[in-house]
Chains A and B, each alone.
Chain A
């Protein structure tokens, strides 16, 4: 029995060595895996990640091979999917949802030779980097347009869950709008779902009924833009350009663009220069862009947005610069100062001009 077992384990060992050798020869083409939380769809979060993947393929051509797994629930299932990818020869794996953080780290420990990049997380490791975008920069710019275009000075924000990322967006949008129009009030409705077109519509409709004439959203479907179009008010889309859903309504959209970043990371793996980093990129790096601005927006507003965009890119202007007051009128950031990244990541209050309170 012992000998049999011995032979068996030798056979396995041989198979492993052979397998390693094979994968080493195959590794000349970098295999890259993507894990998506939702269907690729057409306009949401995952859609933009997938555009990034396609851009990466286009940029690096036959040096890379990519594969994606969509609709992977956050939790134990994610760990299985990531491990499977790592097991089947994928050397660089992008996991694109917050809830993949711990599964990614766990699998990364099992595969120390492989590289992992986790989107929106805050934990890095020897072979795990993180990345996310300064979505709020785009929000601020969109806020400027909204603030100039509103007549009722009331805006409606359809929001998913009260986490810092969403709150940051609400605040940046409000600050942008109030920088050009101090009378602006922003209503927020939490639908407690990333994705429910019916509820998103109902929330948008409720705020329009209450006088909002610019609708924006931090949820995944196109329903808020559609509703704005139907009701004849303006909309600022999120994630991607939704102008075909609301050609009259959409003033602009805050779009995410991961193509450059994905290409850069893949190239660094090919060049063996990859390092675990916590990348937070924005307008400067081209990760955040505004979709083409609707022609109804006056020229001077567009010029102002372009100027601010340039200043943000150069770093001379920060959306969260003082003086910023919270809802109660308490000064949070003094004039001449700006919030640090650490403050931004932990944001849990509304700035002045946002109505209601954050659900605790």
Chain B
């Protein structure tokens, strides 16, 4: 395989990995606060169709992004009310949210299946984009890809460099102690859940507006579940989530290239490869048990209510 193709694989991998970056980083923040929201797939779908409708109606990417995020957050708010206020089981509520999102997005999208959007332009930065290899690798994407990188820096900085991030992590570890210290556990968890929903929605918008600019039912096609898995296998570390997302993207693209070149490996095996390789690599890099225990939020998935303690 020559270098030009290798470069194309890398560039395509970044684009393919971007929806995972958004959704997984959002879910990471949610989980760091101790809430497990399994509704990512549903939130992504609703975000995708809402963003798509906004884009089709107005042609404004900004509005599409805003609507997609709002819709994702709204879905997350339903989950929040169920699990944080009504204290329903998080796993069951999350699954229900996904099922609801699949149906709702299909319903909202009924009249939008026949529209094709023009897609969004790749940024072209004079000089930078023209650098032979680096220009293509670093400066040839659309704005949403750069947005996902910005999100990565933001989340890393927030969680590990700010006081608010410390409080959020504290709540995920020991909500009771955080409550005793006077923090509003439920309120902060709500914010984390809403943020996760907004980012899942944005991941959906990227799919329906930028990556494959059409609306088709169920177009997220399991990417929400992959995002959830990425968070766990990356042991709740933003950098590993980013790495895992691109790795998954790269292997997905590479296996298509291998098929296209006619190399004789069963395609079913190749289709499995992204999942397998990503899990193996992430498990290997995060095999330190102490680190896993330190990174995984101790109260993840456990319903908490201050008055019952």
Binding site for B on A (CB under 8 A): 39, 41-43, 156, 162, 187-193, 195-203, 205-207, 209-210, 212, 221-223, 226-227, 230, 244-245, 355-357, 359-360
Contact of A201 among B113, B211, B217 (CB under 8 A): B211
Q: Can you list 9 A-B contacts with CB-CB less than 8 angstroms, sorted by A residue number?
A: A189-B260, A190-B271, A192-B271, A195-B216, A195-B218, A206-B253, A222-B214, A356-B264, A359-B267
Which residues B70-116 have CB closer than 8 A to chain A? Answer: 106, 113-114, 116
Among candidates B12, B106, B113, residue contacting A205 with C-beta atoms closer than 8 Å = B12
- B242-256 contacts to A, CB under 8 A, are 252-253, 256
A203 to B119, CA, bound (A): 18
Residue contact B119 to A230, C-beta cutoff 8 Å: yes
- How many angstroms from the CA of A360 to the CA of B223 in the assembled complex? 27
Q: Contact at B256–A203, with CB atoms within 8 Å?
A: yes
> Among A41, A207, A223, A360, which residue has its beta carbon within 8 angstroms of that of B212?
A223
Interface residue from B116, B217, B262, B271 paired with A226 (Cβ < 8 Å): B116
Contact A202 B260 (CB under 8 A): no
* Residues in A whose Cβ lies below 8 Å from that of B223: 198
**Those of B205-226 within 8 Å (CB) of chain A:** 207, 211-214, 216-219, 221, 223
* Interface status of B259 (Cβ within 8 A of chain A): yes
Residues of B within 8 A of A39 (CB): 106, 113, 217
Q: Which of A193, A245, A359 has the most CB of B within 10 A?
A: A359
Give chain B's interface residues, CB within 8 Å of chain A.
5, 8-9, 12, 16, 106, 113-114, 116, 119, 207, 211-214, 216-219, 221, 223, 252-253, 256-257, 259-264, 266-268, 271
The answer to whether A189 and B263 touch across the interface, beta carbons within 8 angstroms, is: no
B214 in contact with A223 (CB, 8 Å): yes
Measured CB to CB, the nearest residue on chain B to A221 is B216
Q: How far is the CA of A209 from the CA of B253 in the complex (A)?
A: 11
Q: Which residue of B lies closest to A192 (CB)?
A: B271
B12 with A202: CB separation less than 8 A: yes
Out of B114, B217, B219, which one reaches A198, CB within 8 Å? B219
Q: Is the beta-carbon distance between B214 and A245 smaller than 8 angstroms?
A: yes
Task: Provide the bound-state CA to CA distance between A156 and B216, in Å.
Answer: 23
Known: A199-B252, A210-B261, A226-B213. A359 touches B116 (CB 8 A): no
Contact B271 A202 (CB under 8 A): no
Number of A-B contacts (CB under 8 A): 115
B165 to chain A, nearest CB (A): 32
Q: Are B214 and A187 in contact, with the CB atoms below 8 A?
A: no
A41-B113, A230-B119, A244-B116 known; A210 and B271 CB under 8 Å?
no
Identify the closest chain A residue to B264 (Cβ).
Answer: A357
Q: What residues of chain B lie closer than 8 Å to A156, measured between beta carbons?
A: 260
Q: Which residues of B contact A41 (CB under 8 A)?
A: 113, 216-217
From known contacts A198-B207, A199-B252, infer whether A245 and B257 are also in contact, taking CB-CB under 8 Å. no
Cβ–Cβ contact A222 & B116, under 8 A: yes
Say whether B113 contacts A42, CB under 8 Å: yes
Inside 8 A of B261's CB, which chain A residues have their CB?
A: 187, 210, 355-356
Cα–Cα distance between A227 and B216 once the two chains are bound (Å): 15
Query: Nearest Cβ distance between residue B178 and chain A, in whole angstroms?
Result: 39
CA distance A245 to B214 in the complex (A): 9
**B257 near A209: Cβ-Cβ < 8 Å:** yes
Q: How far is the CA of A191 from the CA of B8 in the complex (A)?
A: 19
A209–B252 touching, CB < 8 Å: no
Contact residues in A for B260 (Cβ distance below 8 Å): 156, 187, 189, 203, 206-207, 210, 212
Chain A residues near B16 (CB-CB < 8 A): 198, 202
Closest chain B residue, CB of each to CB of A356:
B262
- Asked if A360 contacts B256 (CB within 8 A), the reply is no
- Report yes or no: A355 in contact with B262, Cβ–Cβ below 8 A: yes
Interface centre among A195, A206, A359, A360 (most CB of B within 10 A): A206
Kindly name the residue among B5, B116, B211, B268 whose own CB sees the greatest number of chain A CB atoms within 10 A.
B116
Known: A42-B114, A197-B216, A206-B12. A190 touches B253 (CB 8 A): no
Q: A203-B259, A221-B219 are in contact. List 11 more A-B contacts (CB 8 A).
A: A39-B217, A41-B217, A198-B221, A207-B260, A209-B12, A221-B216, A222-B116, A226-B119, A356-B262, A356-B263, A360-B266
Interchain nearest-CB distance for B49 vs A (Å): 13
**Chain A nearest CB: distance from B109 CB in Å?**
9
Q: Are B8 and A226 interface neighbours, CB within 8 A?
A: no
A206 near B214: Cβ-Cβ < 8 Å:
no
* A190: contacting residue among B114, B252, B267, CB under 8 A: B267
Question: Quick check: B221 and A359 within 8 Å, CB to CB?
Answer: no
Residue of B nearest to A210 (CB): B260
Known interface pairs A197-B216, A356-B264; A191-B12 also in contact (CB < 8 Å)? no
For the complex of A and B, list the 6 residue pairs with the smallest distance between their C-beta atoms, beginning with the closest: A356-B262, A190-B267, A355-B262, A206-B256, A42-B113, A197-B212
| Cross-chain contact A202 with B113 (CB below 8 angstroms) | no
Known: A197-B219, A201-B211. A210 touches B264 (CB 8 A): no
Residues of A within 8 A of B219 (CB): 197-198, 221
B113 proximity list for chain A (CB < 8 A): 39, 41-42
A201: chain B residues at CB < 8 Å are 211-212
Which residue of A is nearest B259, CB measured? A189
A192–B222 Cα distance when bound, in Å, is: 14
Which residue of chain A has the shortest Cβ distance to B13 in the bound complex? A202
**Residues on the B chain within 8 Å of A189, using CB:** 256, 259-260, 267
